Chain A
Amino acid sequence: MKLALKLAYRNLIGAGLRTWLNVIVLSFSFVVIIWLKGIMSGWDYQAKTDMTNWEIGGGQYWHENYDPLDPFTLLDSHAPIPAALQSEINSGDVVPLLIAQGTIFPEGRMQSVVIKGINPEQTIFRIPTQKLDTSTDAIPAIIGAIMAKNSRLQTGDVVTLRWRDTNGTFDAADIVIVEIFSSNVPAIEQSQLYIALDKLQEMMILADEVTTLTFRESKESRPEIDGWTLKTKSMLTRQVDEMIKTKSAGQTILFVILLLLAMLAIFDTQVLSIFRRQKEIGTYIALGYTRQQVVGLFTVEGTMHAVLAAIVSMVYGMPFLIWQAKVGWTMPIDASEFGMAIAQTLYPVYSLGLVVSTVVVVTLTTAVVSYLPARKIAKMNPTEALRGKLQ
């Protein structure tokens, strides 16, 4: 094997431009595959981090009737705060949220909103709720940038909010937009209005009642509480996992195309080599190689393209990948339109596993592609090979 490696290296380096063309094509595949996979990992990381920071914290208890996809459930999705969680609420490790339906009338238009009552002093979410702790004539409210854009609301705007309390009575009051925040989580921005929890409880006549309870610490096992459903962080991020999985499957097609291009070059070189280097093959056999050893030599030679490509990739790919990790990749279109937790600029995240698995997969594929044409050598007649006669 050591000899095959040595000879293969000599043959490849000696072949000059032909080798380097293949190596460059293959190295391009390495870099693009690692970069694209890094983007996916980066997105996965960003989406989960943003969701944790802005929407789900370390996990949640949902009122048993609460279904975020069905607004009709909101009427019955509230209950008094469970006594078991009171101490955590007091220490700030659990944030209660009351969720209700409402309508605002910006510029005379009517727009449905989800009103979320939240403690202004909470520190679990990055939503700037401390801005709700403001003395104004109208009810202080904060909204996300997507909502602001859709409703054409700006900081300082006063708008009428209408809601229906727990007794079914409609009421209305003015709210003032005290802050517009921007996140990468559309779910917490689109048609969402944040006001102080005690204010919403007062408006809804639901003293001490809440819809969800978000805890800071991510624990898979928390006690069951009657009337509440535990939603762990992994359960709440499952959608992201599935979405990334779907996107990864789509990307695999791109990887396969890239690999096919590179493999085509290797395969072509191997086939050409076997036809053009008949005399050389015969010479190896005459000097004491078995035909199987020559097959091995040609396979190693082909596979070594991948090894050289990995080295070349390190030379120009590593600075590129590091630079990308720093500046990120900004999507050419507005990512907020996508409706999922995706930042406008994605920062690729590369792991050792990602790099190693890519190198292993590409190298193994190259080995297989190199071996397939090389098998023909095993059937060659050495005396005809020596004369360079095509077989």
Chain B
Amino acid sequence: MHQFESPLKPELAEIIRVKEETPFLKTFTVRFLDKKKQKQFSFIPGKFVMASVFGFGEMPISISSSPYQKDSLQLTVNAVGNISRQMHLLGKGSVVGLRGPFGRGYPIQKFRKKNIIFFSGGCGMASMRSAVYAVNAKKELFGKLFLFHGCKSPQELLFAEDIAKWEKEQNFNVFVSVDKPTPDWKGNSGFVTDLIDKVDFPVENTFVLMCGPQAMMNIAIEKFRKHGFKPEQIFASLERLMHCGIGKCGHCNIGKEYVCVHGPVFSGSELEKMHLREG
């Protein structure tokens, strides 16, 4: 009898670099031990991988590196649960398991010649960074670019170096807001969603990509809609508990959608039909 191979089997990957981003966030640069696998690995920003810390479990982590970076990939991990805390204890040379990429990413192909607003909050910046990198690498294909990012305090600002770099670029408008500013903070303060009313941006031919806490995204979607955005112009990435990543285990089920296979990126018109509250 033919044996079918498990789609849940992790591939071994080595941590080649660890960077401490904020007190709770670390970026791990990982590379598959199997060179062929590393060569074949490609993804669309917004997709995620299932990362295993052997003996502790497996968790979904979105890829934060550029899709054009072929020799390795980066995972930005927030130390909040058992597995992610354990991952934070790992250093260079440790071996973890990876499988993926899973899900549906941001449909960047559709945005040619259009303006893009990247909108993220907290560690939502992780998957957004990948999208920004992808767009920025072929900047001439797109219109005006905007980045809105919010975080709790200046020391929790993720990828500050990248953001500083993007700020200097032409045709790229970057707005960072901090909920609780420290005295030395010179940028915006208050919720990032408040920026939507303050900043001038085009509505026609503009798409919004969103990733962050659900509460932030709900408010942001509402505000963008008030400014005249159609639901089809908004794409938001949802976060749910996931155990398998292949639409079997049932944890990420919302109505008829499984976030792991139909998402995590949903368009505004799909989100309207979903029972996001208690669904």
* Real binding pair: no
Instruction: Give residues in A with beta carbon < 8 Å to B.
Output: none
Instruction: Give residues in B with beta carbon < 8 Å to A.
Output: none
